[in-house]
Amino acid sequence: MITDGLKTWIELSRKNLRRNLGVFRRLCGEATPIWIVKANAYGHGAALIAREIDKTIKRGRGEWFGVDSIDEGIALRKEGIRAPIIVLGWVPYPRLSELVKNNLRYLVSSERTVKELAKLKNKKGLRAHLKIDTGATRQGVLPAGALKLAKSIKSAGMTLEGVATHFANIEDVDNPTYADLQLERFTATVALLRRNGFSVPIVHAACTAAIMTRLETIFTAARVGIGLYGLNPSALIKNAFRKRHRGLELSPVLSWRSRVALVKSAAAGTPVGYGLTERVKKDSTIAVIPVGYADGYDRSLSSRGAVLVRGRRARVIGRICMNMFMIDVTGIRGVKENDVVTLIGEDRGKKLSADDLSGLSDTIAYEIVARLPAGIKRLVV
């Protein structure tokens, strides 16, 4: 097997990815899906994910990819991705010319950026998207300054292809007041731009959570992020989605696995790991897993995390080390060196999800998967 020589690896389910693509294509309807593959496709592997999506795109349908950095966009171009790519994050001024060179769209948030873009000799080839800050207090110009910035983009000789915003509290389905306010501000700003001669054919505001629960936030395009990978933005969104769209389900794409490096006995009272933070309460069997916080298994999972071994759940015991951690396999019959261990995924009908780990480490599933090192081998299965 290809994994025989690996101490840890990530498996990506082609079937589940395509299932999720189908769900969001259905939800987006005629609107253009922008598949977000930033942060190495949320830890899944940007090149692998983009190639798999690219295989399913019907030419002429106009699906896009969204990245955070110019380096991510260039990397996709080198992988042969020809679909439109928009850089959503900030680009250092000395590298702005690379946007045009690599046929990348750019999300513009300030007059200063436009002034820097105006200095480029090849700026006419750049298609800009104007970011409106409707209430996230993050990227973007306030609605009152949108028309001025749009005129600056035009005066600089660039094409204003799109306009966008980002919701700050779209996941609070029980209290949509702030999301409603942002939507109202955005709609009014788009209308203002159009009254002043800007056609802005690409209008995007909806993220995964918005697509799943508020179809009215989908304009002519929608940014599909965490949901593409089969993970729900939150429990609230998951429940609301089930009520609104019965029969549609997201399926996790990623599984993370390792192997048992060592099995050893520990007598009652024996401390396990750094700091002597935990001692076994009875004669126990301990297994060592060759993965640690440097490999993306967070130190906050010390004495709290769990893995699957032989279809059984085994608790992390003691502190997570830099490149290994220990689990208590007492009572799990037959555990031996080289056995496969599931850190995220399914084993013999038992499941351990990124949501499970995020709950144990007081964070969100986004962080659990996005922080998986790019150096871990990823396999499409």
Instruction: Please give the pLDDT value at position 35.
Output: 98
Structure tokens at 277: 């933070």
201 and 291 assigned to the same domain: no
The fraction of the chain above a pLDDT of 90, given in percent, is 97
- With 0.85 as the threshold, say if the pTM is over it: yes
Residue 328 has pLDDT above 70, yes or no: yes
Q: Quick one: 297 and 166 in the same domain?
A: no
- Per-residue pLDDT averaged across 252-273, rounded? 98
Among candidate residues 212, 242, 272, the one where a domain is terminated = 242
The CA-atom distances, in angstroms, between 115 and each of 108, 109, 112, 158, 165 are 11, 12, 5, 11, 22
Final residue belonging to a domain, choices 173, 207, 242: 242
Instruction: Mark whether 72 and 190 lie in a shared domain.
Output: yes
Same domain, yes or no: 63 and 164:
yes
In this predicted structure, the answer to whether residue 62 has a pLDDT above a threshold of 90 is: no
Residue 322, in any domain of the structure: yes
> What pLDDT digit, counting tens, does each position of 208-223 carry?
999 999 999 999 999 9
> Is residue 358 a part of any domain in this protein?
no
Supply the residues annotated as catalytic. Answer: 38, 274
Task: Compute the distance between CA of residue 370 and CA of residue 226 in angstroms, rounded to an integer.
Answer: 10
Residue 287 pLDDT exceeds 90: yes
d(CA 116, CA 94): 9
Opening angle at CA 196, ends 191 and 202, nearest 5: 55
Alpha helices (runs of H) in the chain, residue ranges in sequence order? 14-28, 38-42, 46-56, 70-78, 97-101, 111-118, 146-155, 177-195, 208-213, 235-244, 354-360, 365-370
The residue among 175, 165, 171 whose CA lies nearest residue 138 is 165
Check whether residue 80 and residue 132 sit in a common domain.
yes
For residue 182, how many other CB atoms are within 10 A of its CB?
23
pLDDT of residue 122: 85
pLDDT of residue 60: 65
On whether both 74 and 40 belong to a single domain, the answer is: yes
Let me know whether 174 and 285 are in one domain: no
Domain with residue 336: its CATH number is: 2.40.37.10
- The pLDDT, as a whole number, for residue 124 is 84
CATH number for the domain that contains residue 101: 3.20.20.10
Same domain? For 87 and 226 the reply is: yes
In the listed set 242, 264, 296, which residue is the last one of a domain according to the structure? 242
Domain co-membership, 220 together with 270: no
What average pLDDT does the segment 367-371 reach? 98
Asked, for residue 48, whether it belongs to a domain, the answer is yes
Do 124 and 64 have their domain in common? yes
Per-residue pLDDT, 125? 83
Are 160 and 138 in contact by the 8 Å Cβ rule? The answer is no
Residue 187 lies in a domain: yes
State the helix-helix crossing angle for 146-155 and 111-118, rounded to 10 degrees: 0
Note whether residue 371 is domain-resident. no
Q: Compute the average pLDDT of residues 55-61.
A: 81
- Residues 315 and 197 occupy one common structural domain: no
Confidence of residue 1 (pLDDT cuts 50, 70, 90): confident
- Rounded mean pLDDT, 266-274: 98
Domain count, the chain: 2
Residue 337 has pLDDT above 70, yes or no: yes
Mean pLDDT (the chain) is 97
Regarding whether 313 and 235 lie in a shared domain, the answer is: no
What residue numbers bound the domain in which 315 lies? 254-352
pLDDT-derived band at 253, boundaries 50, 70, 90: very high
User: Strands, DSSP E only, in 267-311?
Assistant: 284-289, 306-309
